[in-house]
Amino acid sequence: MRVVIADDELLLREGLRRLLAESGFDVVGTVGTPGELKRKVALTRPDVAIVDIRMPPTYTDEGIAVAEEIRETHPAVAVLVLSNHLASHYAMRLIEQHTAGTGYLLKGRISHIAVLNDALQRLADGECVIDPTIVARLLTRARSTSHLDALSPREREVLSLVAEGRSNKGICDQLFLSPKTVEAHVKQILIKLDIDASPDDHRRVLAVLSYLRT
Amino acid sequence: MTRSPRPGLAVAVAVAGAVALATARGDPTSSFGGGGLVPSVLEAAAGVCLLAVGLTALGRDRERSIGALLVAAAAAWFLIDFNNPGAGAAVFTLGLVLATAAPAVVAHVVLSDPDGGLRSWPARAAVGLGYFLTLGVLGVASAVVFEPRAEECLQCPRNLLLVAGDRQLHGDLSHVGVDGTLVWSLLVLVLLSTRFVRSSPARRRARGPLLAAGGLYIALVAVDLMHSAQRGYLSNDSVDQQLWTGQAIALLLLAGGVAAAWWRARRRRFQIARLVVELGATPPPDGLRDALAALLDDPTLELSYPLADGRVVDGHGRSARVQGQTTALVRGEETVALLSHRPGLFADGAIAAEVAGAARLALENERLQAEARARLEDLRAARARVVAAGDAARRQLERDLHDGAQPRLVALLLATALHRSRHGTRTDHRIDELQAELELALEELRQIAQGAFPALLGAEGLAVALQELSEEPSSPLELSAVTAERFESRLETTAYFVVAEAIRLAAPGRVAVRAERHNSRLVIELQTDNTPSGTIDLEDRVGAVDGTLSILRRDDGRTTLQAELPCGS
């Protein structure tokens, strides 16, 4: 898989490059600014661009903006945004525009090569990736009134996998369940939470995350 | 302010008047008034009216000198008939010396400033020359050489001042005196005209009647002197008598002019007083300014108050710049207020004194309020500085962690991951432990940075930052309605930390938050399960942005905190 890395911190950029190369990825470029990233993507047409959220000039949300731009101009290039923000805000903003082929992972996560590997693979397949920690935080929030209490432990598991952006098949693989069972669970969850059932995985992610955020 | 009138003085001048009238009646042919009823009444009225305003002015602090001059003018006016041959020797002699003094005294009155001073040298010179000519040349010098009997005044009494009769010298002195006084009176007229033309409209309004009446009187004197110059001495033919009656009328007008100025001042004071009452006990800031601006007909008028520490503030307590022409309103030694106004408004210093006097209470009141507001503003500014310094330090800490320690830890994590992938399954479990510790450190660092200053607040605003806060594990925060609008940074910071602090102070227990804009205020409402304790920091924060914090505790312990932050329009 061909990957481009954009991070203004040389230390992280190089560390990540070596780690990915070590794990069999083809790192076709490393850059430090959004502008360089756009040029590199246009030039090398990677499968996935890994983008730090904080980049010059303002060091706030440049990564999100450039991710949207890349998804717009190069639909074949998936984007994984690395972030320090545990808040769902930026993740939500990222996948609102282009759910398929966009991912949001916490920076602390990248040392888990398996997680990184899985995320990159799913993105290349056109899935959406949301960091499990963000989903877990939303799920475990103490709420005075919540329909979440009505869910069974298994249903909560399924719900969090849905929120992480996994397809039904992905959920089957994770929980070792049959497609039919997963489908039934999902349907049950959406009814319990009063979310409009949608066959589209991507719209489903958005609906579930929106629900969890409120 | 008003002193008791001086009865002795009044009686003395009245007696002089009575003597003059009696003398005139006793020998009508020698009197200037001719002894007729109308001239007599006018003579008496002019003198009495001058006396009355003079005595009144004597009772007024600022006008004592003018009052003395007016009383002197009244006396001099009566003395004109003393040198009537029908009078006794003492009265006659007094008349010889003082008979022509009236024009000099009246000129002194009209050339004086309102407080009685003579500030310009031409005025001083004119007044001095007037006294020299009338009292000196026509008075004393003539009297010394005047032998009535030698000059065919057979019924005249004895001249008590006579040293050596010299008819020739007396005639010459009379000539010189009359001509000189004529020239002098014309000079005074020129002086009065230039003064009138040069003075500001306000001053012209205030002093116009006085100057006009005085001018008329001096002009009539001049005409009479012109008439007398042809024969070489002062006398009382029919022309003189008519002119003299005219002079009496002019003096009546002069007295009226003085009284009219008082009446105007009184009316203005009454207006100010009424306006002060209208303003009520606590006029709004600038209320007094607006009222005075309307009253004095000067829209550019500005009112400011000097504070003890040397600053000058307006009615709101904000520091004010005093510019243009300024008049200090003084009470005792202390400057109560400064009025900046259009040039010439207070050319007549009396108006400023009146304003200071009549609006004293309102000025004092507004000055105290302005001072209190200025102190409050100082306090608020100090609070704001403390809070701002604290926030700046928090922000810096967050940045330092974000830019320094965090990337370093992430890089270390990457290094461990690299190490593991290189050595595959041969890595020992200590690498796993190291990695877990690093992740823990990273998370703790993130929490510290987040607690110090939420990066999302600056980048994305209050709503996003509060959402983030509500997503923290076991966050008690429930957001119902939070405006997505962006506000000034210090306002968003204040609002955020009010919520964050309230959560801490009311822990454990749910905190429901609304944050909405109501007109020009951002209103943060928090419902807490428990009563937050120690809200002084919150008050400091809210006070620093000029907001208000109210805490309403219900019986069941649930508490409503409401912070209202002004956010412009």
Minimal Cα distance from B478: which residue of A? Answer: A143
Beta-carbon contacts of residue B41 (< 8 Å; ≥ 6 apart) = none
Other Cβ atoms closer than 10 A to B338 = 18
Q: How far is A211 from chain B (nearest CA, A)?
A: 13
Beta strands in B82-221 (DSSP E): none
- How many angstroms separate the CA atoms of A90 and A107, rounded? 14
Of A22, A54, A87, the CB nearest to B468: A87
Residues B133 and B254: their CA atoms lie apart, in Å, by 23
d(CA B465, CA B27): 108
What distance in Å separates residue A181's CA from the closest CA in chain B? 31
Q: Residue B18 is inside which H or E element, if any?
A: helix B7-26
Residue B516's nearest CA partner among B569, B553, B480, B560 is: B480
SS (H, E, C) chain A: CEEEEECCCHHHHHHHHHHHHHCCCEEEEEECCHHHHHHHHHHHCCCEEEEECCCCCCCCCHHHHHHHHHHHHCCCCEEEEEECCCCHHHHHHHHHHCCCCEEEEEHHHHHCHHHHHHHHHHHHCCCCEECHHHHHHHHCCCCCCCHHHHCCHHHHHHHHHHHCCCCHHHHHHHHCCCHHHHHHHHHHHHHHCCCCCCCCHHHHHHHHHHHHHC
The answer to whether the CB of A159 falls within 8 A of the CB of A151 is yes
> Helix B238-279 to helix B102-111 angle, to the nearest 10 degrees?
30
**Alpha-carbon span B492 to B391, nearest angstrom:** 12
> Hey, what are B3's tokens?
């002193």
Chain A residues closer than 8 Å to B407 by CB: 9, 11-12
Q: pLDDT tens, A98-132?
A: 999 999 999 888 888 889 999 999 999 999 999 99
Q: Best mutation site among B410, B419, B437 for testing chain A: the one with the most A CBs within 10 Å?
A: B410
pLDDT of res. B530: 83
What secondary structure, in 3-state letters, does B296-338 show? CCCCCCEEEEECCCCCEECCCCCECCCCCEEEEEEECCEEEEE
How far away is chain A from the Cα of B540, in angstroms, using its nearest Cα?
Answer: 29
CB B109, CB B115: distance < 8 Å: no
Residue contact A11–B408, C-beta within 8 A: yes
Q: Whose CA is closest to B190, among B247, B79, B277, B107?
A: B107
Closest CA in chain B for residue A12: B411
Contact A86 B446 (CB under 8 A): yes
**CA-CA distances (angstroms) from residue A118 to A109, A123, B109?**
12, 9, 109
Of residues B411, B418, B464, nearest to A11 (C-beta): B411
How is the beta sheet containing A78-83 ordered, strand by strand?
Answer: A26-31, A2-6, A48-52, A78-83, A102-106, A129-130
Which amino acid belongs to residue B277? V
Two tokens, residue B257: 């002019």
CB A165 within 8 A of CB A204: no
Of B410, B420, B456, the CB nearest to A87: B456
The CA distance from B27 to B35, in Å, is 8
Residues of chain A in contact with residue B455, where contact means CB-CB under 8 angstroms, are 60, 85
The confidence score (pLDDT) of residue B52 equals 87
Q: What is the pTM of this model?
A: 0.61
Interface of A with B (CB under 8 A): 9, 11-12, 15-16, 18-19, 22-23, 54, 58, 60-61, 84-89, 107-108, 110-113, 137-138, 140-144, 213
Q: How far apart are CA A188 and CA A194, in angstroms?
A: 10
Taking alpha carbons only, the member of B502, B493, B457 closest to residue B475 is: B502
Contact A84 B402 (CB under 8 A): yes
- What the block records as the tokens of B399 is 């940045």
**Helix, strand, or coil here: B4?**
coil
Q: Alpha carbon of A214 to those of A186, B53, B519, B527: distances in Å?
A: 20, 87, 26, 18
Helices (H) and strands (E) in chain B, counts: 19, 9
Is B407 at the interface with chain A, CB within 8 A? yes
B527 phi/psi in degrees, rounded to 5:
-110, 120
Per-position pLDDT tens, chain B of length 569: 444 456 677 777 777 777 766 666 666 666 665 567 777 788 888 888 888 888 888 887 778 888 888 888 888 887 777 767 666 777 778 877 887 888 888 888 888 877 777 878 888 888 899 988 888 888 888 888 887 777 777 777 777 777 777 778 888 888 888 888 889 999 999 988 888 888 777 677 777 888 888 899 999 988 888 888 887 777 777 788 888 888 889 988 988 888 888 888 778 777 776 766 666 555 667 777 877 777 777 788 888 888 888 888 888 888 888 877 887 877 777 788 888 887 766 666 666 666 767 677 778 888 888 888 888 888 888 888 998 999 999 999 998 998 888 888 999 999 888 888 888 766 678 888 888 999 999 989 988 998 899 989 989 999 999 999 998 888 888 888 899 999 999 999 999 999 999 888 887 888 999 999 999 999 999 998 888 888 888 888 998 898 999 998 888 878 899 999 998 76
Backbone Cα Rg of chain A = 17
What is the rounded CA–CA span in Å between residue B251 and residue B110? Answer: 11
User: How far apart are the C-alpha atoms of B276 and B354, rounded to whole Å?
Assistant: 13
| Chain A residues touching B443 at Cβ < 8 A | 108
What residue of B is the nearest CA neighbor of A62?
B459
Among B77, B73, B2, which Cα is nearest to B32's? B77
User: A77-92 pLDDT, tens per residue?
Assistant: 999 999 988 889 999 9
Residue A139 to residue A160: CA distance in whole angstroms: 8
Position B2 scores a pLDDT of: 44
Q: Which residue has the tokens 């001495």?
A: B233
B-chain CB neighbours of A111 within 8 Å are 410, 413-414, 416-417, 435, 438-439
B417·A111 Cβ contact <8 A: yes
Query: A141-185, pLDDT tens digit by residue?
Result: 766 667 888 889 999 999 999 999 999 999 999 999 999 999 999
What confidence score (pLDDT) does residue B275 get?
Answer: 67
pLDDT of residue B32: 61
Neighbour order of strands in the sheet with B511-518: B477-482, B511-518, B521-528, B559-566, B548-553
The token duo for B469 is 């806060």
Beta-bridge mates of residue B477: B511
Q: By CA distance, what is B510's nearest residue in A?
A: A144
Hunting for tokens 């329009």 — which residue is that? B569
Pick from B407, B470, B473: CB nearest A140: B473
A108 with B476: Cβ contact below 8 A: no
Q: Which residues of B touch A84 (CB under 8 A)?
A: 402, 406, 446
B468 and A89 within 8 Å at the Cβ level: the answer is: yes
Three-state DSSP class for residue B94: helix
**Does B464 lie at the interface with A, CB-CB under 8 angstroms?**
yes
Q: Which one of A85, A134, A137, A138 would you mutate to disrupt binding with B, by most B Cβ within 10 Å of its Cβ?
A: A85
- Spatial distance between the Cα atoms of B568 and B224, rounded to a whole number of angstroms: 76
ipTM: 0.91
The SS3 call for residue B451 is helix
Q: Which of A123, A116, A68 is nearest to A95 (CA)?
A: A68
> What pLDDT does B24 receive?
64
Could you read off the pLDDT of A13-52 as tens digits, one per residue? 999 999 999 989 999 999 999 999 999 999 999 999 999 9
CA atoms of B537 and B457, how far apart (whole Å): 20
Q: B566 near B545, Cβ under 8 Å?
A: yes
What Cα–Cα distance (Å) separates residue A106 from each residue in A42, A87, A121, B276, B404? 26, 10, 17, 69, 17
Q: Are B334 and B388 in contact (CB under 8 A)?
A: no
B455 touches chain A (CB under 8 A): yes
Classified as helix, coil or strand, B62 is helix
**CA dist B365 → B284, B304, B362 (Å):** 11, 13, 5
User: Which pLDDT score, from 0 to 100, does residue B484 have?
Assistant: 92
B428 touches chain A (CB under 8 A): no
